[in-house]
Amino acid sequence: MRSSLLRPADKALRLGGKSILLSPHALLAGCILALIITLLMVFALTQGALPLTLREVYYQLTHAQAPASLNQTLFWQMRLPRSVVAIIAGAVLGAAGAVMQSTTRNGLADPSLLGIKEAACLVVWIELLFFPTLSPLWRPISAMIAGLLVTGIVMLLARGTSGSRFILIGIGISWGLNALLGVILTTIDPKQAQQLMLWMAGSLQHATLETAQLMVVIALPIVALLLYSCRASTILQLGDATATSLGVNPLPINRLRMIGAVILTALTVSTVGSIGFIGLMAPHLTRRIVSGGQSYLLCGSALVGALLLLLADCVGRLAFAPTQLPAGLIVALLGGPFLFILLWKRATQR
């Protein structure tokens, strides 16, 4: 049975008594995606109202302690944090979407469609409005708790995570929370409402290197745990009955992966705002690039998600200059038609 899960292109890399399966095609695709992300990041660092040369970018990277200057402020406090946070947030959302789609076995599963994003937004708004002196470190914690709570409610009402019932209930709860967010916006001071709306649109204008460090510290162990569960998840794709006969218990694996996806989504919302559709688009685009087990899908979706969000931020920052559009808005402009195409394909395949 194990051989049926392998592809002829897979190569076994033996380390001591264990072996790791590698796909040359997947590795090549990953390297190409990483190269594109690197080139796009260099472009983002050099372009703007005040262009920087490649030599200036190299100088700033190698002389971080140089005397303060306009270029140093522009590079270290604006462009570099913005690009780094876009890459991390996009990768986290792409990985979360891949995990959620494989766990629910539904290609429409996305954190932005299940109420997780709105629940995280709600608790962060409450902290910003009523507890402004509270440490920003509490935002990821409270957002994760809210996301897990909403996911638990959706799973309880849907009696599981499989089937369209799970998605439909999640969309319903998402709309309800959106209505509650709208009520808050209409009852607070207009200046506060404007700030909250900009934050909810997924703006990266206020990204900092401290934000990037916080995201890495929290996301890295979660992603490592999800990668560790990928082999069992690949077997689960054969069906619960077959997986059970092979010694894999579906319930704890699915719960672990769902909790990991929720934590990653809530982390992103609490740090950079509400950015939807990355988790929906990245796995589908990844499947067109590489095929294989869940580890390939997870890593590929992370790379594609990073590329999508960095590209969206570049478009929002440069294409409409001097006006800057939030990256979340650019992603939504692409994600809406993408979702429509997926729904249309599902309808025509029946």
CA nearest neighbour of 338 among 161, 163, 152, 97 = 97
SS3 content of the chain, % helix, strand, coil (to 5): 75, 5, 20
92-119: pLDDT as tens digits: 999 999 998 888 888 877 776 678 888 8
**pLDDT for residue 8:** 47
Distance of CA 66 to the CA centre of its chain: 35
Rounded Cα gap, residues 192 and 37, in angstroms? 35
**Tokens at residue 262, please?**
């929720």
Q: Give how far the C-alpha of residue 325 lies from the chain's centroid of Cα atoms, to the nearest Å.
A: 19
Instruction: Please return the burial class of 194, using the count of CB atoms within 10 Å of its CB with bins 0-12, 13-18 and 19+.
Output: exposed
218 and 268 Cβ atoms separated by less than 8 Å: no
- Helices H, strands E: what count in the chain? 15, 2
Cα distances from 97 to residues 15, 31, 49, 63, in angstroms, run: 31, 21, 34, 38
pTM for this structure? Answer: 0.89
pLDDT at 2: 40
Hey, is 168 helix, strand or coil? Answer: helix
Which residue stretches of the chain have pLDDT < 50?
A: 1-8
What pLDDT is attached to residue 92? 95
- The dihedral through the CA atoms of 303, 264, 178, 84 has a sign that is negative
* DSSP code of residue 133: T
